[in-house]
Structure 1
Amino acid sequence: MASIPGHRGTTAAARFRRTLRTRLILAFGLLGLLLITSFIFTTYWFSTLLDADTRGFLQSSVNRSADAFYRNPRSPFAELSNLRAYRYPPNQPDQLFNPDWAMYSNGVYHVSSIDENGHEFNYRLAVRKDPQQWFFIAMDQTQAIKTQRRVTVILFAMGLTALLVTLLVGWWLANTVMRPVTELAADLKKSSRSPDAKFKTDRIPNDEVGQLAQALDDYSERLREVVQRDQEFNADVSHELRTPLAVIRGATELLLTTPNLDDRTRTRIKRIQRSEQQCTDLISSMLLLSRNERGTGNVDVAKLCEQLIDAHREQVGRKPVVLRFEGEPGLVVNAPESSVSVALGNLIGNAVKYTQEGEVLVRLEGDIVRVIDNGPGLSVDDMSKLFQRGYRGTHVGHSQGGGIGLSIVRRLCALYGWEVSVLPHNPRGVEASLYFDPHKTRPTPTGA
């Protein structure tokens, strides 16, 4: 079904889309978080390296002490700098400085304990247990652990502070950068409502945004000139064409009052009169479309359908085609008669053009006008391109026309809030429907 909706709603994704200012702030925040994480990771990596060096130093120290003992068992087991060295016979835990040391095997351990004053103290313990002797070296790290904890707290506080500062700088910079863009967008919105509005380029710095504002200002000026020329052209064409059309109308009316006209001449004069009326209606509708302006009026749709059917009987010619109208009068549409006539006239004209034999039925159902024919129907390609400007259909043959009739109907529907659909009709032909109130519950098309 090819239809023209009255309007389109915005999607949820468009309503909740992040602004450029928010994206800039988030970008700065993520950059700050990345830098802080990298700094903390690097600090942790250095701390791991220092810890490995300490473990290696203690292990080598206990090995040197053991080697010195084996070279000279009577040599004193002296303390080394801030290290305390211990040597005991094997398998005598009661003689150990700390009986818990008996459960450790060879290696370096981190030991926490409580001293006699109830304070926590920490030390590293290097252990080497040989069959002949047990060796222990303890390294006090109480102060180092406290310092490490303070550094951790300081690093965490510095990280939060740096992240906050980064967000504040990002917020300030985003506002500074985006303020000219926001002002430019506001001026652009005003210019869409007022054709004489101009961008306030004097308030925008002479940077990339200023260059963009100047380019938009120049483009807006050229666009105003194009719109003005278009409006003047439409007004001039409308005025200049109405004058000869009025002359044609007067001449045909005068000729029809001439006595003793033969039927053939009278038929041709009436055809000229109908063509003049169609041209006048089309000019009025196209002028309103070019201005995107709705006209007003009260159109009796049933009466207009009967007039259009009478006008198109001449188009039937010698084809065995019957034009018929069904429906009750009473539907009045608030629109210019010329616009309704152009919309319905195109649908009826297409049905008459493509129907070689049979019937063209114009049916009025409430607020809907259906035009049903017995023509060749619609192909799949026709269904997708029917309302495109210039498309003439796969069954057009050698018939005349530029393929803009349904395109004009589509534009009229968009202007007045109507809806049009063209569907295949069973068993053959096409059913074109014009909905003057598309928001009401609509009957199902008979050919659906």
Structure 2
Amino acid sequence: MTTLSGVAKTTHRSWLNPSTWHLRTRLVLVAMVLLVAICGAVGLVSYASMDLVFNKQLDMQLAQASGRANVFGRAPSNFPSSGRPDPLEARGQGAGTLNARISGTTVSSSGLIDAGGNRVALSSTDQQVLLSLPRGNLPVDRSLSNGDYRLVAVETPYGDVIVTGLPLADKQSTEASLVWTMVLVSLGGLVLIGLAGTVVIRRTMRPLEQLADVATKVSRLPLDAGEVALGVRVPPSAAHPGTEVGSVGYALNQMLDNVANALEARQQSETKVRQFVADASHELRTPLTAIRGYTELLRMTESFTDDGRKSLARVQSQSERMTTLVEDLLLLARLDEGQPLHVTDVDLTQLVIETVNDEKVMAPDHHWQLRLPDEPISVRGDATQLHQVMANLLSNARKHTDQGTTVVTGVSLSADGSAVVTVTDNGPGIPEDFQRRIFSRFARADAARSGSEGTSGLGLSIVESIVQAHGGNVEVTSRPGRTEFALRLPSMNTGLT
């Protein structure tokens, strides 16, 4: 039976494959991605808005500073350039303000006011930047040796150009603080929301985990045979039809109730059938014994023609076959009822030797081989039933293979200390589709294997039932040219008591 745990083992979870992630992990990640996108969008909009506001404020201050510089720096055209007023001397110019006069292609006067109110000259590189400024009232940003500036170049009525600039350092510092504030607040919010979201999602997903746990437990129950106590149910907190998950839990409980009722009905039916088989088998033993006895009496006391003797022999052989079938059915019924075993110490090695020797007498046309350990292997079990297991396995190999087939019987200890008995033949093999039902009752595939003796189809069912009653298991592997039945029994240390 395939279980959820088995599927879990065969499914390799890779973090590179999102389809293998837990649903709660994907929900948390999706929520985090959406929050990151929202925070990023809000941050970009906020930054753009603040940058626009700062630029407007700076442009107003720049327009005022440019107006003061132009009013102070204007002079008639007949004034020599060296005698014209320096716009940097205009009143009201704050720290960091830059002013310059451009006459033609040269900067006649230029400088900026530092934090102490002193004048700082501009470098030649800065002057070249000022000469390349567009004329008009449109402010532009440029990088100078003292930092980034917002500049405007205004022509005077006398042909000169007065350049005014304000530093961008305060604006950039404020915007940087805004960016870091938004990043830190967003990260903190994401961490808090991630933790809170994980807790909320885990609590929300808990009913689904309960459903999966119930389904896993049910999948591990042996529902194919025997009495099954299907007592696993979804808890009431996850099985109320008011929510989607609750509706699934409620439906699952309804399904489990239906399955439990079906299993109970099946068990009752099986019990009745087993009781009928046991009673019928027990009742048939007496008339079959009488038939065999009277047949023997007739053969010894009466005279028959050749045809009469053949018919009487046929009656005797069929009564013996019927007796064997009844005994097998009665044994299976007793095993199904779980009747206690007569447990003793059984020398498994000696048991195999004796059983193989019996088969050698019955089928001398087969090649019988033994592979035994140096030291005897013993198990705890019912010696009579274990002898029947070996007899059935060897008889199965004899009946379903041709003359000259080699049958090898081996006894060994596995790594975990279990006793292992194998019966291997080099016959034609068993069809793969029949291997899946070979231990079922009345399962026969004589057409697939070339034996000549008819069988009831109960031998391997008896083998499996006896081995399972001893706490072991039996398996078959087959291909053309090699068929092996392997049964494992607990060792003396772990066997039946």
TM-score, structure 1 normalization: 0.64
Give a deviation string over 1:336-386, Cα, whole Å, max 9, x none. Answer: 7798678656654553344232245352323443334353346xxx4x545
Q: Equivalents in 2 of 1:220, 1:163: separation in Å?
A: 43
Q: Is 1:171 matched with 2:194?
A: no
User: Aligned with 2:427: secondary structure?
Assistant: coil
Based on CA coordinates, which of the two structures has the bigger radius of gyration? 2
Q: Equivalents in 1 of 2:428, 2:239: separation in Å?
A: 62
Residue number in structure 2 paired with 1:260? 297
Q: Equivalents in 2 of 1:261, 1:327: separation in Å?
A: 47
Give a deviation string over 1:259-299, Cα, whole Å, max 9, x none. Answer: 536493554433333222333344455677xxxx9989556
Residue number in structure 2 paired with 1:376? 428
Equivalent residue in structure 2 for 1:32, among 15, 35, 40: 35
Residue number in structure 1 paired with 2:435? 387
User: Aligned with 2:484: secondary structure?
Assistant: strand
CA contact (8 A) 2:359 2:395 kept: no
Residue number in structure 1 paired with 2:100? 86
Residue number in structure 2 paired with 1:272? 322
Change in CA separation of 1:397 and 1:260 when aligned onto 2, cut-off 3 Å: closer
Equivalent residue in structure 2 for 1:249, among 276, 285, 288: 285
Residue number in structure 2 paired with 1:443? none
Give a deviation string over 1:27-78, Cα, whole Å, max 9, x none. Answer: 32232223223333455566788899999999xxx9xx99xx9xx9689998
Write the mapping of 1:141-152 to structure 2, written as runs, cut at 5 A.
Answer: 141-152=168-179
Q: Equivalents in 2 of 1:237, 1:331: separation in Å?
A: 39
Equivalent residue in structure 2 for 1:102, among 127, 142, 158: 127
Change in CA separation of 1:164 and 1:408 when aligned onto 2, cut-off 3 Å: farther
Write the mapping of 1:396-407 to structure 2, written as runs, cut at 5 A.
Answer: 396=449
User: Aligned with 1:99: secondary structure?
Assistant: coil
User: Aligned with 1:436: secondary structure?
Assistant: strand
Residue number in structure 2 paired with 1:434? 486
Aligned letter for 1:88? I
CA contact (8 A) 2:151 2:166 kept: yes
Residue number in structure 2 paired with 1:357? 403
Aligned letter for 1:207? T
CA contact (8 A) 1:112 1:123 kept: no
Aligned letter for 2:402? Q
Write the mapping of 1:142-291 to structure 2, written as runs, cut at 5 A.
Answer: 142-182=169-209, 184=211, 195-196=230-231, 198-201=233-236, 206-257=242-293, 260=297, 262=299, 264=313, 265-284=315-334
CA contact (8 A) 2:149 2:166 kept: yes
Write the mapping of 1:414-425 to structure 2, written as runs, cut at 5 A.
Answer: 416-418=471-473, 420-424=475-479
Deviates more, 1:233-242 or 1:259-268: 259-268
Change in CA separation of 1:225 and 1:332 when aligned onto 2, cut-off 3 Å: farther
User: Aligned with 2:278: secondary structure?
Assistant: helix
User: Aligned with 2:436: secondary structure?
Assistant: coil
Please state how far the C-alpha of 1:163 moved relative to its aligned partner: 0.9
Change in CA separation of 1:73 and 1:268 when aligned onto 2, cut-off 3 Å: farther
Change in CA separation of 1:202 and 1:36 when aligned onto 2, cut-off 3 Å: closer
RMSD (Å) for aligned C-alpha atoms:
5.6
TM-score, structure 2 normalization: 0.59
Residue number in structure 1 paired with 2:309? none
Deviates more, 1:363-372 or 1:12-21: 12-21
Q: Equivalents in 2 of 1:374, 1:260: separation in Å?
A: 44
CA contact (8 A) 2:281 2:330 kept: yes
Q: Equivalents in 2 of 1:106, 1:338: separation in Å?
A: 113
User: Aligned with 2:230: secondary structure?
Assistant: coil
Change in CA separation of 1:406 and 1:412 when aligned onto 2, cut-off 3 Å: same
Residue number in structure 2 paired with 1:446? none
Change in CA separation of 1:31 and 1:304 when aligned onto 2, cut-off 3 Å: same
Please state how far the C-alpha of 1:435 moved relative to its aligned partner: 3.8
Give a deviation string over 1:381-401, Cα, whole Å, max 9, x none. Answer: x4x545323895994589988
CA contact (8 A) 2:154 2:161 kept: yes
Deviates more, 1:390-399 or 1:165-174: 390-399
Please state how far the C-alpha of 1:155 moved relative to its aligned partner: 1.0
Give a deviation string over 1:145-178, Cα, whole Å, max 9, x none. Answer: 2321231132123212331342244134314422
Give a deviation string over 1:210-258, Cα, whole Å, max 9, x none. Answer: 2112111111111111121122122221111011111233344455555
Deviates more, 1:342-351 or 1:229-238: 342-351
CA contact (8 A) 2:423 2:484 kept: yes
Deviates more, 1:198-207 or 1:299-308: 299-308
Q: Equivalents in 1 of 2:401, 2:142: separation in Å?
A: 100
Gaps of 5+ in 2: 80-84, 112-120, 134-140, 222-228, 300-311, 413-418, 492-497
Deviates more, 1:236-245 or 1:401-410: 401-410
Deviates more, 1:368-377 or 1:397-406: 397-406
Greater relative contact order (CA < 8 Å, ≥ 6 in sequence): 1
Gaps of 5+ in 1: 1-6, 114-120, 440-448
Please state how far the C-alpha of 1:84 moved relative to its aligned partner: 6.0
Aligned letter for 1:225? N
Q: Equivalents in 2 of 1:153, 1:220: separation in Å?
A: 57
Aligned letter for 1:99? L
User: Aligned with 2:172: secondary structure?
Assistant: helix
Change in CA separation of 1:74 and 1:175 when aligned onto 2, cut-off 3 Å: farther
- Equivalent pairs: percent with the same residue? 18
Change in CA separation of 1:323 and 1:94 when aligned onto 2, cut-off 3 Å: same
Q: Equivalents in 1 of 2:151, 2:262: separation in Å?
A: 89
User: Aligned with 2:297: secondary structure?
Assistant: coil
Aligned letter for 2:272? D
CA contact (8 A) 2:355 2:390 kept: no
Residue number in structure 1 paired with 2:494? none
Deviates more, 1:160-169 or 1:46-55: 46-55
